[in-house]
Amino acid sequence: MSYNKIPSDAPPDYDAATQHTPVAAGDQAPPRQAIARAPLPLDLPALRLIKGKRVILASASPRRKQLLAQIGLTDLEIIPSTAPEDLSHSLAPFEYVLQTAEQKAMNVYRAEIDSPKGEPALIIAADTVVVSTTGQILEKPRSEKEHYAVLRSLRDLGWHKVYTAVVAMSPLESAVDPGYAMETHVEETSVRFDENITDELIMAYVKTREGADKAGGYGIQGIGSILVEKIEGSYDNVVGLPLRPTLQIIEKVLTPEIENELEE
């Protein structure tokens, strides 16, 4: 895993974001220029433990990959689940996304546990759905006509909810059944579309195809933000992965291994 060791000395202070170029006597000094600096990586026991090991994201979503990179998981294997997502929409949204995410994690776990590359240290899976105020579970639109109709209904109904379930799995060193540890979390965020957005704007957005591969048919992190008036809850949950609880369940699922490391 790509992970830069944090220096033992103190990090540069904020004034060090600028530097002076040495000049000869009599020369005019160049203007001070800000130097862009990337933030130092998170230094956490869980992230140190899986450094250089197989960490699998059971999703092809580039947005989830980008979000995980923010907490230091930059060297991910992308292995999307092949499990059918055919659960009944009669399930409560909480149960629907949780069971779907668990199925994705188990599908990849079974496929990779005996891999010639070695067993994975961590598997992360997630599922996101948008739920209208009428209780309808909205996933990816299947046509332009459906896409347009879904966005119009979200505007006309006002508030809707976004649910994301996240699953973290890690094989156990012991042979204790079932052979793995699993931690889960479901995050809920409320989103309100601007009631004044026009049909023409909705169709123009549909034509961009930005929301064609997204639950509910829009991407809040992109052009789709023009549709949204306000949100209540986690923004990154609407993007596709709530980072704070994701890090928490990663730490929790790896706790036995972390404790073993500390004892040695």
Q: What does the pLDDT look like over 50-85, one tens digit per residue?
A: 999 999 999 999 999 999 999 999 999 999 999 988
Decide if 262 is inside a domain.
no
Q: Could you tell me where the beta strands, DSSP code E, fall in 132-179?
A: 137-138, 159-171
Which residues form the domain of 126?
Answer: 44-254
Structure tokens at 149: 């109709």
**Annotated active-site positions, please?**
127
Q: What is the pLDDT of residues 13-50, one digit of tens each?
A: 434 444 444 555 555 655 555 556 667 778 898 999 99
Which residues are CB-contacts of 252 (< 8 A; sequence separation ≥ 6)? 168, 183
Residue 103 amino acid letter: Q
- Whole-number Å distance between alpha carbons of 180 and 211: 36
Decide if 37 is inside a domain.
no
* Domain count of the fold of the chain: 1
Decide if 35 is inside a domain.
no
pLDDT at 43: 86
The rounded mean pLDDT for the chain is 86
Q: What is the pLDDT of residues 184-219, one digit of tens each?
A: 999 999 999 999 999 999 999 999 999 999 989 999
DSSP assignment of 228-242: EEEEES-HHHHHT--
Domain CATH for 249: 3.90.950.10
- Give the pairing of strands 228-232 and 18-19: unpaired
Length reported for the chain: 264
Decide if 212 is inside a domain.
yes
Q: What is the pLDDT of residues 82-94, one digit of tens each?
A: 998 889 989 999 9
Decide if 32 is inside a domain.
no
pLDDT at 42: 84
Helix, strand, coil % in the chain, rounded to nearest 5? 35, 20, 45
* 3-class secondary-structure state, position 138: strand
Q: What is the pLDDT of residues 92-106, one digit of tens each?
A: 999 999 999 999 999
Task: Give the closest residue to 138 by CA, choosing from 151, 121, 126.
Answer: 151
Which residues are CB-contacts of 29 (< 8 A; sequence separation ≥ 6)? 20, 21, 23
Kindly report the pTM of this predicted structure: 0.81
Residue 31 amino acid letter: P
Decide if 29 is inside a domain.
no
* 3-class secondary-structure state, position 55: strand
Decide if 244 is inside a domain.
yes
**70 with 92: CB under 8 angstroms?**
no
Decide if 30 is inside a domain.
no
